């Protein structure tokens, strides 16, 4: 079982806007950034762009890279 810290359970909030998780990548920041760039091309929002969160897993097990978008936007 994976041991998550408190940052993994909190809801993302950037620039006063609540974000939701779309997809997670374990120890693959390059793939997370590629997926984020695809979403940027799709939404074209300069104020609330998709972001990648880096969340630590347990004690030295690595990181989870979560791609998040604003909560009121739907993914196609």
At 26-45, the pLDDT tens digits run 999 999 999 999 998 887 77
Q: How many CA atoms lie within 13 A of 75 on its CB side?
A: 16
In order along the chain (76 residues), what is the average pLDDT of each group of 10 residues? 55 78 91 92 82 83 88 76
Give the C-alpha separation, 50 to 57, whole Å. 22
State how far the alpha carbon of 55 is from the alpha carbons of 13, 17, 49, 69, 74, in Å: 14, 19, 19, 16, 23
Residues in the chain: 76
DSSP 6: G
pLDDT at 1: 41
pLDDT at 8: 57
pLDDT at 65: 92
What pTM was estimated for this model as a whole? 0.76
pLDDT at 3: 53
């Amino acid at each position: 079982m994976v041991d998550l810290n408190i940052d993994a359970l909190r809801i993302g909030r950037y620039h006063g806007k609540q974000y939701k998780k779309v997809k997670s990548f374990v120890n693959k920041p390059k793939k997370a950034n590629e997926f984020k760039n695809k979403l940027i091309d799709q939404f074209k929002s300069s104020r609330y762009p998709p972001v990648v969160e880096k969340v630590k897993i347990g004690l030295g097990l690595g990181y989870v890279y979560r791609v998040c978008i604003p909560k009121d936007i739907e993914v196609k």
